[in-house]
Amino acid sequence: MNSVKEKKWEYLKAIRYYFDITNSYVLNKLKIILLPFLGKVNWNRQVNQNTNDKEYLSGRNDLQAPDLYIPFISLFSLALIKSFLAGSFTKFSPELLGATVSTVFVFWILESILIRLCNFYYIGFHCCAIEKCNYLDVLSYTGYKNVNIAMTLFLIYYGNRWVNVGWMILMLASLFSFSVII
């Protein structure tokens, strides 16, 4: 019985790492997600120097650490924006909010599983032992796209033509800057 309790706390400790962030982390991470080409960013994660094994720092101390706070907040923001838009066209129902969150969450999980499996197939099983990448890292990295999706959905309906053109140019510049970096 005692080992079950210890395992439960171990899982909670692993998840807590992804929510150990500050307000400045959120602002800076959103700036990197939305405008990655504006500054010189060190894309390498920082390693904890106090331990012998390779342990990465959390978001509180490392801007490049993955988190689950921004993906989950952007998931709920996306659902709220979609519900708000449906309400402005008088097609809102309370089930729409839950259906949107459920649908986006299921596709997010499936996308993360697919990326993880492709990682195993193409790179090999040994890569995750070397880089210490786990499923929650993949889940957080794939969840950052929800920020751009929510902003795009909002601007398509409430921005004028020039705002939409500017946003699309900004998204193309972001995509190009990530392509050049990688």
Distance CA 103, CA 56 (A): 32
Sequential DSSP letters for 100-120: HHHHHHHHHHHHHHHHHHHHH
| 36-50, 56-70, 81-95: least confidently modelled range | 36-50
Instruction: Kindly state the helix (H) or strand (E) to which residue 178 belongs, with its residue range.
Output: helix 161-181
- Please state the domain count of the chain: 1
What's the pLDDT tens digit per position in 11-26?
Answer: 777 788 899 999 999 9
Q: Are 139 and 108 in contact (CB under 8 A)?
A: yes
Q: Are 149 and 81 in contact (CB under 8 A)?
A: no
* Res. 140: pLDDT tops 80: yes
What's the pLDDT tens digit per position in 92-107?
Answer: 888 999 999 999 999 9
pLDDT above 70 coverage of the chain, percent = 85
Domain of residue 162: give its range.
Answer: 2-181
Mean pLDDT of 162-167: 86
Residue 161 or 182, more confident: 161
> pTM (2 decimals)?
0.82
pLDDT above 90 coverage of the chain, percent = 27
Residue 135 or 125, more confident: 135
